[in-house]
Structure 1
Amino acid sequence: MHILLALLYVSLVAAPGCTSLPAKGESIRNTIHNIINIAQITLVHIKKVRTKLPVPPQAEVTSYSIEGLTGISHDLGLLDNELQSPFTELLSQIQADVSSLEGRVRSLALTMDCPIHPRPSGETGDNLFPDSHLYLTLTKVQHYLEKLLLNKDKLKVC
């Protein structure tokens, strides 16, 4: 009987510690880890799509600078808009990945009290060269995510 009472007491005392929410610092670390994972998975998706396409023309893209969560969120919003073009329907999985990534970065920025700009509008112009647009968009996203992974420390600052 004493053993049962002791077990009941231990379970009642230990339960609040076991069911508490993670600390803010731990939540931020988990979110950063998730962002990095999504970026890596998206790069795998890009490589998979590239194997299905003919050899791409050489294209140079100007890359965004990665300075902190506010800019990263904005840049990912712009890339998400570009991926929603009718010419990039082949990239629907990558668009979903980038959209998810942008949402997590925005959420992390809000958690860290960073200023967040409104999401960029989804203006996509008519493109006379849809194949070129597809390659260019794919290259932009790939370069941005590679740069983000190299500068993942910027996910800790506004």
Structure 2
Amino acid sequence: MHVLLALLYVFLVAAPACASLPTKGDSIRNTIHNIINIAQITLVHIKKLRTKLPVAPQIEVTNPSIAGLTSISHGLGILDNQLQSPFTELFGQIQADVSSLEGRVRSLALTMDCPVQARPSGETSDDLYPDSHLYLTLTKVQRYLEKLLLNRDKLKVC
């Protein structure tokens, strides 16, 4: 009888601790981990796509800043819009990845009570050189994600 009471006591005391919801800190760490994983996977997709394209010339690009969650969310929104150009339909998976990243970063920023800018409006491009636009967009996304991974600590600040 004492064994049953002891087991019941252990079950009642230990069960709530085992079944507790994740803390805000756990949620933030998990989200940052997911963002880093998606960025790494997207870079793999870009590298695979580059093997299917003719060799691209060296392109110098300027990307939005990576100062914190607010700027990262805005930068990913800009890149997501550029990936939705009619000249970049080849980038379907990459665009989906960047869109997912932007949503997760925006959600993380809101969780951390960071100010979040309105999502950048889409810009339509009537580019006369679609191949150049394709390479330029791909290079921008690749360099931005590489920079994001190097500055992953910026995912912890507004």
Question: TM-score, normalization: structure 2?
Answer: 0.95
- Aligned-pair CA distance for 1:53: 0.5
Cα displacement (A) at 1:140:
0.1
Tell me how far apart the structure 2 counterparts of residues 8 and 88 of structure 1 sit (CA, whole Å).
62
What is the correspondence of 1:97-116 to structure 2 with a 5 Å cutoff?
97-116=97-116
Structure 1's unaligned 5+ residue stretches are: none
RMSD between superposed Cα atoms in Å: 1.2
What is the match of residue 61 of structure 1? 61
SS in 1 for 2:33: helix
Identity of aligned residues (%): 84
User: What's the CA shift for 1:114?
Assistant: 0.3
CA distance in 1, matches of 2:108, 2:41: 19
Deviation at 1:41, TM superposition (A): 0.7
Partners of 2:11 and 2:52 lie apart in 1 by 56
Provide TM-score, normalisation by structure 1.
0.95
Aligned to 1:128: 128
Per the alignment, residue 149 of structure 1 pairs with 149
For 2:27 and 2:8, the matched residues in 1 are separated by 31
Shift of 1:102: 0.5
Task: Identify the residue that residue 34 of structure 2 maps to in structure 1.
Answer: 34
1:140 aligns with 2:124: no
Deviation at 1:18, TM superposition (A): 1.4
Tell me by how many angstroms 1:20 deviates. Answer: 1.3
Aligned mates of 2:19, 2:123 — CA distance in 1: 45
Tell me how far apart the structure 1 counterparts of residues 15 and 118 of structure 2 sit (CA, whole Å). Answer: 41
Which stretches of structure 1, 4 residues or more, deviate above 2 A after TM superposition? 1-9
Post-superposition Cα deviations, 1:50-96, rounded to whole Å, max 9, x if no partner, equal 00101112211112221010000000000001111111111110001
Any unmatched runs of 5+ in structure 2?
none
Count of aligned residue pairs for this structure pair: 158
Contact 2:83 / 2:91 at 8 angstroms: preserved in 1?
yes
